[in-house]
Amino acid sequence: MKTINEAKTSKSNSEKEPFSIYNIAISNLDGSKMDLSQFKGKYVLIVNVASKCGFTPQYKELQKLSDTYKDKLVVLGCPCNQFGAQEPGDATAIQGFCEVNFGVTFPLTEKLNVKGVDQHPLYQWLTSKELNGKKNSSVKWNFQKYLISPRGNLVDYYYSITKPMSKKITKHLS
């Protein structure tokens, strides 16, 4: 299994080979290891989430999306405190907030950085064409969404203003 750095420096036929999202190490919110390969065969919508943001009500629609397309899609919430310090809580506070206020049952990852020098490898992959093989991007704010295909390829990304049940996203799931 290659690391992100090995993937960035290895070349295949003068073009960089995309690094599989399924090889990225990440933990659940409770600290246990999460194996992204468990999501093979389904779309995955990865969203950097925060509890004290103007877009926080999207949790409700993310849960609706998860419930509506449960056979085809996994919503993966990634708590992040990098935008306006809008996710200050610890794992217990985040989990409780999501369950009590929005009935969230989709998986939540450990709190992570989605940009900057300490950017988590998942977001390195999501935002780097070198790694995802499709396009570069940068995370602009909380609740930016990245859609991954059932084969582990980046489909597209959507800014915070795109609602989870938007046709931009659901057209891929029908």
Return all residues near 122 (Cβ < 8 A) that are at least 6 apart.
21, 24, 26, 46, 78, 109, 112
Crossing angle between the packed helical segments 91-102 and 58-68, to the nearest 10 degrees: 70
Rounded to a whole number of angstroms, the distance between the first and last alpha carbons of the chain is 33
d(CA 160, CA 139): 9
SS3 9: helix
DSSP strand pairing (43-49 vs 33-35): unpaired
Return all residues near 95 (Cβ < 8 A) that are at least 6 apart.
29, 30, 108
Residue from 37, 14, 16, 42 nearest 130 by CA:
16
Any idea which fold 4-167 has?
Glutaredoxin (3.40.30)
Per DSSP (E only), the strands in the chain are 25-27, 33-35, 43-49, 73-79, 145-148, 154-158
For the chain, the structural domain boundaries read 4-167
pLDDT in tens, the chain (174 residues): 455 665 555 544 445 555 799 999 999 999 999 999 999 999 999 999 999 999 999 999 999 999 999 999 999 999 999 999 999 999 999 999 999 999 999 999 999 999 999 999 999 999 999 999 999 999 999 999 999 999 999 999 999 999 999 999 999 998
Q: Catalytic residue positions?
A: 53
For the entire predicted model, the pTM comes to 0.91
Name residue, tokens 């409770």: 30
